[in-house]
Amino acid sequence: MVETRLPRNPNPQEWLAKDHSLQYVADYKPFNFVDGEGVRCSLYVSGCLFNCPGCYNKAAQNFHYGQPYTQDLEDQIIEDLSQSYVQGLTLLGGEPFLNTQVCLKLVKRVRKEFGHEKDIWSWSGYTWEELMKESSDKLELLHYLDILVDGRFLLAKKDLTLQFRGSSNQRIIDVPQSLQTGKVVIWDKLVH
């Protein structure tokens, strides 16, 4: 049977981190090569409401999944990021923009410790256009990112040949350029 159900589509500011996040982490994977460009330290937060059919990380949709985010974990991430061969941090999940309490705390520390020496990527089920109408915490998190892979995973548009994306509707967005120009600017290293 072919899955025909679509992901959920929230109204602007319908889903707020303060109402949903339990500040849990599904997983932390240091020194990986799959969650963005270069060697990355990837934090998978717990909880997502989009419920995309075919989600590759269904367990992380549960806000109770995993373990609470701790200062010890944050310290470990910062230590791992300090390695010269690590290019940056990646936030995924789950939904990072429904876990802004955890993600903002971490990205602020990354910027404090490393400035822009380390880049910050995030995946989100939210589109850029949706985030522009979202709550102040989501917009604040967006402003700390270098790259956003946006949009819900759509099974009908699944394409495993795509760079850093699961479905062809998703975009790899240069966040600083997009904020500066007021329109979506696609990452200049995108391989079609």
Q: pLDDT (tens digit, 0 to 9) for every residue of the chain, 192 residues total?
A: 555 678 999 999 999 999 999 999 999 999 999 999 999 999 999 999 999 999 889 999 999 999 999 999 999 999 999 999 999 999 999 999 999 999 999 999 999 999 999 999 999 999 999 999 999 999 999 999 999 999 999 999 999 899 999 999 999 999 999 999 999 999 999 876
For residue 116, the model assigns a pLDDT of 96
Contact (Cβ atoms closer than 8 angstroms) between residue 149 and residue 178: no
Q: Which CATH superfamily is domain 17-181 in?
A: Aldolase class I (3.20.20.70)
pTM for this entry: 0.95
Asked if omega into 94 is within 30° of 0 (cis), the reply is yes
